[in-house]
């Protein structure tokens, strides 16, 4: 069914947690398939993940999601309890990953608030067949004690004061087989049933404490015939989550399970931090409740009175332990975006105040002292906000394992994915823009780059191709490199297809290898002769280029035919704020990222030389560096054309160094980076600009792309 979309906050938390759990599940099953062995820890983790998804989805009334999660949980319950001798990891991975795909599709429907109506029955039947196959291969696991029927647990009786909304949810959840946490060799008569009291405390920052509490109550149906809990209105009252966070979730129940079994039951709860479980001995009457026929009436005040001293002691312990632990909270990214915008505006406002031309010539020692303190605080605030927004690339990188796995199977290729630098961090907003381009690059490398096994062996290569996914910092940018050891790009084939589609804008003789390779990023370009499931439509690489340009980045290709291809995406570390040196060229302002500046100086005429091609060079401490006149590069009119009148700024990136010639330095400041307007980006592709910013005096300054500028030297 569709579920309920009335509680936005609860729905957001459900989507967030389920998405994370599915990522964990996919990572675990892929790792198991790669090692061709599923460990006990992996089985326990997958069982726990599916148990959680089942409970939270049932609570949200997404019955098809809960039902499929239950089937996968059944499968891993059997594997966990019986440890079958032989498990086909490849077949198991196929089933689980197919389930993950189904759950992701349904989760997208939840996000879009559409009808969650996917049919999970075919996949459930596949899971059941696989489970039956495991049982047939492990006949001892099929032995069921004669006492099993006697131990079958009845559904919990309905406490009359349980909120109607909870009861409605319980009634809509399909009746489940009572198979969890039951030891077949233990049988008790109703007279031997015991009362237990459990107090559950969840980890700080786990969120959705009331939903987790409801999941516990839902699962109690399988093992307890009577129970009460407090707080009692865990669904209706939004404050119940805070109460559970501070005081814990208390459950009193009657069951025929042993203490050890009950402890194991509660410890299955995800994000549990502390469990206090006690068996109430010699209890003739029901504790803290009055019983009527099939009804329970909790006496909450009595329960609270009995626990008063214990709670006081616990709260003291919690307060001391909480202060020692690092607290983690989830924050809506929209709030972080707004905070970043405010910090950016504050940086601009600070520059407008401290660089106000009306202050020139005034003796304002106290003002400048206060301004320096303000600048320090602003800088620290900026660094902190940026650090909060930074996330590692590991999650995005590990998603590529699934693509490599699926495509290599379908194309009958052997491919190994090597990941380097996954701990590299970038702004969260940038992560969202590079996921699709990265996926297209990996798919392209598998389909176009890596050869079939027979072809690789014939050319003397190893049977398994290697795709390397690497990330590393390069000044204020991050380089993401996708490298394969496949057949490389065929320049002639690219040029032929470009001529056929009228994509050439200059003569072929004038084009460098890189310019030829970059033709693959043009819309509609493809060298594939036929359209397949994975490529041939000419849209993949175009998406890569556009998405990277959206975040102010660039992409380039290097390839050696027969050896492999390397595609490099250069993206800014953050879209927010950088330190920059402002310079003047004619009437124009430019900003150079300070991280790229080595030094600035005024040269002597005797240090200027020319190379055999007539290009200007300068000698600095015995080293020769190319000179780039910015007024010539950007065609800006200026009266400062003599080197003795202007200033040199030596810049470098990981590839090369050069000296930029400008009129004068205007000073250093923090600048808010803004992307160039789209029409400027298209006006000249190689404009050597990384963005623009608003200066304190209201002028616009263009931010120089140092990597692109140093690349000009090679040309």
Domains of the chain, with CATH numbers? 1-136 (1.20.120.160), 195-280 (3.30.70.1110), 333-388 (1.10.287.560), 391-527+536-572 (3.30.565.10), 577-712 (2.30.30.40)
Does 128 score more than 90 pLDDT?
Answer: yes
Does 365 score more than 80 pLDDT?
Answer: yes
284-296 mean pLDDT: 41
- 657-662 and 623-629: which strand pairing? parallel
pLDDT at 289 (0 to 100): 41
Does 538 score more than 80 pLDDT?
Answer: no
For 292, the 3-state DSSP assignment is strand
Q: What is d(CA 325, CA 327) in angstroms, rounded to the nearest whole number?
A: 6
pLDDT band for position 654 (cuts 50, 70, 90): low
* Least confident piece of the model among 118-127, 227-236, 602-611: 227-236
CB count, 10 Å around CB of 339?
A: 16
pLDDT band for position 325 (cuts 50, 70, 90): very low
pLDDT at 243 (0 to 100): 87
Instruction: Report pLDDT digits (tens) over 572-594.
Output: 776 667 788 999 999 899 999 88
pLDDT at 5 (0 to 100): 58
Contact 415, 446 (CB under 8 A): yes
pLDDT band for position 419 (cuts 50, 70, 90): very high
Q: Which of 30, 43, 39 is nearest to 75 (CA)?
A: 43
Instruction: Report pLDDT digits (tens) over 465-476.
Output: 999 999 998 877
pLDDT at 683 (0 to 100): 55
Checking 39-48 for CB contacts under 8 A at 24+ apart, the result is: 40/80, 40/83, 43/76, 43/79, 43/80, 44/80, 46/72, 46/76, 46/96, 47/73, 47/76, 47/77, 47/80, 48/268, 48/270
Residue with tokens 């700024």: 649
pLDDT band for position 235 (cuts 50, 70, 90): low
Contacts of 305 (CB under 8 A, 6+ apart): none
357-372 mean pLDDT: 85
285-300 mean pLDDT: 38
For 411, the 3-state DSSP assignment is coil
pLDDT band for position 606 (cuts 50, 70, 90): confident
Contact 572, 671 (CB under 8 A): no
Choose between 318 and 637: higher pLDDT: 637
Q: Which of 671, 659, 647 is nearest to 597 (CA)?
A: 659
* Least confident piece of the model among 115-129, 156-170, 595-609: 156-170
For 227, the 3-state DSSP assignment is strand
Does 100 score more than 90 pLDDT?
Answer: yes
Q: Cα 325–330–332 angle (5° rounding)?
A: 155
pLDDT at 314 (0 to 100): 44
- Joined together, the tokens standing for residue 156 give 């919990």
Instruction: Please tell me what DSSP assigns to residue 393.
Output: S
Indicate the average pLDDT of the chain: 78
- Joined together, the tokens standing for residue 112 give 């879009």
For 174, the 3-state DSSP assignment is coil
Percent with pLDDT over 90 in the chain: 23
pTM above 0.75, yes or no: no
Q: What is d(CA 265, CA 601) in angstroms, rounded to the nearest whole number?
A: 72
pLDDT band for position 341 (cuts 50, 70, 90): confident
Instruction: Report pLDDT digits (tens) over 543-552.
Output: 788 888 777 7
């Amino acid at each position: 069914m569709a579920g309920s979309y009335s509680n936005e906050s609860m729905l957001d938390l459900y989507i967030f947690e389920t998405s994370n759990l599915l990522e964990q599940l996919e990572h675990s099953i892929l790792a198991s398939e790669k090692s061709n062995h599923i460990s006990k820890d992996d089985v326990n983790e997958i069982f726990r993940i599916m148990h959680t998804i089942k409970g939270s989805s049932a609570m949200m009334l997404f019955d098809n999601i809960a039902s499929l999660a239950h089937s996968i949980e059944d499968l891993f319950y059997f594997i966990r309890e019986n440890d079958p001798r032989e498990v086909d990891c490849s077949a198991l991975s196929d089933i689980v990953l197919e389930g993950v795909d189904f759950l992701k599709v349904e989760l997208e429907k939840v996000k879009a608030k559409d009808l969650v109506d996917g049919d999970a029955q075919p996949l459930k039947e596949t899971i059941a067949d696989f489970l039956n196959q495991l049982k047939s291969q492990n006949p001892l696991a099929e032995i069921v004690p004669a006492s099993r029927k006697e131990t079958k647990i009845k559904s919990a009786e309905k406490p009359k004061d349980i909120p109607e909304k909870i009861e409605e949810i319980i009634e809509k959840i399909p009746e489940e087989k009572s198979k969890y946490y039951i030891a077949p060799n233990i049988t008790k008569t109703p007279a031997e049933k015991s009362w237990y009291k459990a107090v559950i405390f969840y980890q700080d920052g786990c969120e959705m404490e009331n939903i987790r509490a409801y999941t516990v109550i839902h699962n109690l149906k399988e093992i307890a015939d009577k129970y009460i809990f407090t707080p009692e209105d865990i669904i209706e009252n939004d404050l119940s989550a805070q109460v559970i966070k501070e005081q814990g979730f208390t459950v009193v129940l009657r069951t025929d399970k042993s203490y050890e079994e009950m402890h194991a039951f509660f410890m299955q709860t995800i994000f549990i931090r502390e469990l206090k479980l006690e068996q109430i001995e010699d209890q003739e009457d029901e504790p803290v409740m009055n019983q009527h026929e099939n009804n329970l009436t909790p006496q909450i005040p009595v329960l609270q009175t009995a626990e008063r001293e214990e709670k006081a002691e616990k709260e003291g312990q919690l307060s001391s332990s909480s202060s020692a632990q690092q607290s983690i909270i989830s924050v809506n990214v929209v709030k972080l975006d707004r905070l970043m915008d405010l910090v950016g505006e504050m940086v601009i406002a600070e520059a407008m105040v401290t660089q106000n031309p009306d202050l020139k010539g005034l003796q304002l020692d106290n003002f400048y002292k206060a301004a320096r303190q303000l600048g320090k605080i602003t800088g620290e605030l900026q660094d902190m906000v940026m650090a909060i927004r930074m996330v590692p690339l590991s999650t995005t990188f590990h998603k590529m394992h699934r693509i490599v796995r699926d495509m290599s199977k379908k194309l009958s290729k052997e491919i190994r994915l090597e990941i380097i630098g996954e701990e590299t961090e970038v702004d969260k907003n940038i992560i969202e823009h590079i996921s699709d381009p990265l996926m297209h690059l990996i798919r392209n490398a598998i389909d176009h780059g890596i050869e079939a096994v027979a072809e690789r062996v014939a050319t003397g290569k190893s049977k398994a191709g290697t795709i390397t996914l690497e990330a590393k910092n390069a000044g204020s940018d991050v380089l993401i490199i996708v490298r394969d050891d496949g057949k490389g790009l065929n320049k002639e084939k690219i040029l032929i297809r470009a001529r056929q589609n009228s994509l050439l804008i200059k003569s072929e003789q004038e084009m460098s290898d890189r310019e030829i390779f970059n033709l693959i990023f043009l819309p509609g370009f493809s060298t594939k002769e036929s359209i397949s499931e994975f490529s041939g439509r000419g849209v993949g690489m175009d998406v890569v280029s556009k998405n990277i340009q959206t975040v102010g980045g660039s992409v380039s290709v290097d390839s050696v035919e027969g050896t492999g291809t390397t595609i490099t995406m250069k993206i800014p570390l953050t879209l927010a704020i950088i330190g920059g040196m402002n310079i003047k060229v004619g009437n124009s302002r430019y900003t150079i990222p300070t991280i790229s500046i080595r030094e600035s100086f005024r040269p002597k005429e005797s240090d200027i030389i020319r190379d055999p091609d007539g290009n200007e060079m300068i000698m600095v401490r015995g080293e020769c560096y190319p000179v780039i006149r910015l007024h010539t590069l950007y065609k800006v009119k200026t009266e400062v054309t003599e080197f003795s009148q202007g200033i040199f700024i030596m810049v470098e990136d990981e590839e090369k160094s050069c000296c930029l010639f400008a009129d004068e330095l205007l000073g250093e400041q923090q600048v808010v980076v803004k992307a160039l307007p789209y029409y400027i980006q298209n006006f000249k592709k190689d404009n050597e600009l990384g963005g623009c910013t608003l200066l304190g005096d209201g002028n616009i300054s263009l931010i120089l792309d140092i990597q692109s500028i140093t690349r000009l030297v090679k040309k």
